[in-house]
Amino acid sequence: MVVVMEQAARASEVAALVAKVESMGFRVHLMKGEERTLVGVVGDGRPLDRGQIEAMPGVDKTLAVLRPFKLASREMHPEDSLIALNGSKVGGKKVAVIAGPCSVESRSQLLETAHAVAQAGATALRGGAFKPRTSPYSFQGLGVEGLELLAEAREETGLPIVTEAMAPEQIPLVAQHADVIQIGARNMQNFNLLQAAGKAGLPVLLKRGMMATIEEWLMAAEYILSQDNPQVILCERGIRTFEPSTRYTTDINAVPAVKSLSHLPLILDPSHGTGNWEYVTAVARAGIAAGADGLIVEVHPRPQEARSDGAQSLRPEVFEELVRQVSQVAVAVGREGPIRP
């Protein structure tokens, strides 16, 4: 950390700051410029609370030098992490495509979708049994029945299951039926849930909060990793901006940025990122071109009957074309797609 003193800071204020920092076991470098004094604080990597320092008299601001995440950082773990998902691996040469309905609505809807996405080349099946809904009056998911239907779909198609848990007490149940526990964007900083998911021992798909910085997102991953669970898959799903013509703004910059900062695999959700099925395939191609390790896509046999996210769900034949196009882009950037293009 570097502490910037106010221009008018007195020598006694600088001395008090130095004394405080040294008393906490850190070393200090003083730099006197023409206008300001800087105090460099050097330690053993332990975090130093910025608020305490900024509350001292004569201090203008502090500048962070080190990134606050450790287990998630590429500096600590230079090679890419691979997360096993059934037979395949997320984070390797082959890109993963997770697909399925927003919500599990019925046995027939789920099985029809599962067979369709399996045939199109999907790597895993997604589907929500517990649904976080903005309105208490909206469909809240089938709950346990939905989990059982997902397990049945796995049985039938062989696809591993990705599904969301919304509360710590749901984790055991979800872990019993799912292959990957999804943490939704609205729960990215539900720290009790992160810890509970981390303890379950399954891979965790961690969606970025719609207003979370990349650093906060990696700190949320750190909550899971610090439970001795190294299996975190990050998912960029769009951030909230001022632009009203799409539901969210897909942060495509986050793909190279996260790949530079972290060893964890990263997938893209073009369905939530755009909110409009007509834009999903274009943004899916972009994600793979930028270096994402996979995609998660909403598919519904009849979007106009979907109980949630109909506007952004692909019909199976559109999804099939998406897989074909994405596979071509994957090859163009030196990877493999879910199918041979």
By beta-carbon proximity to its own copies, the closer residue of 157 and 313 is 313
Least distance in angstroms from the C-beta of 54 to its own copies? 4
Least distance in angstroms from the C-beta of 87 to its own copies? 26
Q: In this structure, what are the phi and psi dihedrals at residue 329, rounded to the nearest 5 degrees?
A: -65, -40
Q: Is 103 left (phi over 0), alpha (psi -120 to 50) or beta?
A: beta
- Report how many residues bind its own copies under the rule CB under 8 A: 114
Site for its own copies in 182-211 (CB under 8 A): 186-187, 189-193, 209-211
Site for its own copies in 14-33 (CB under 8 A): 20, 29, 31-33
Site for its own copies in 78-117 (CB under 8 A): none
12 interacts with its own copies by CB under 8 A: no
Question: Cβ(212)–Cβ(189) under 8 Å?
Answer: yes
Least distance in angstroms from the C-beta of 123 to its own copies? 20
Question: Cβ(256)–Cβ(292) under 8 Å?
Answer: no
Question: Cβ(229)–Cβ(46) under 8 Å?
Answer: no
Pull the structure tokens for residue 317.
């034949």
Least distance in angstroms from the C-beta of 25 to its own copies? 12
Single out the residue of 179, 197, 177 nearest to residue 187, CA to CA: 197
By beta-carbon proximity to its own copies, the closer residue of 47 and 158 is 47
Helix axes 191-199, 214-225, angle to 10 degrees: 40
Site for its own copies in 266-305 (CB under 8 A): 273-274, 276-279, 282-283, 285-291, 303-305
Site for its own copies in 207-246 (CB under 8 A): 209-211, 213-216, 219, 222-223, 226, 238-246
Piece in contact with its own copies (CB under 8 A), picked from 93-101, 115-123, 135-143, 155-163:
135-143
Contacts of 164 (CB under 8 A, 6+ apart): 128, 129, 130, 131, 132, 174, 181, 182, 183, 184
By beta-carbon proximity to its own copies, the closer residue of 93 and 133 is 133
Distance between CA atoms of residues 269 and 280, nearest Å: 9
Piece in contact with its own copies (CB under 8 A), picked from 107-115, 118-126, 144-152, 166-174:
166-174
By beta-carbon proximity to its own copies, the closer residue of 92 and 341 is 341
Site for its own copies in 42-71 (CB under 8 A): 42-45, 47, 49-56, 63, 65-66, 68
Q: In this structure, what are the phi and psi dihedrals at residue 106, rounded to the nearest 5 degrees?
A: -165, 165
- The three-class DSSP label of residue 104 is coil
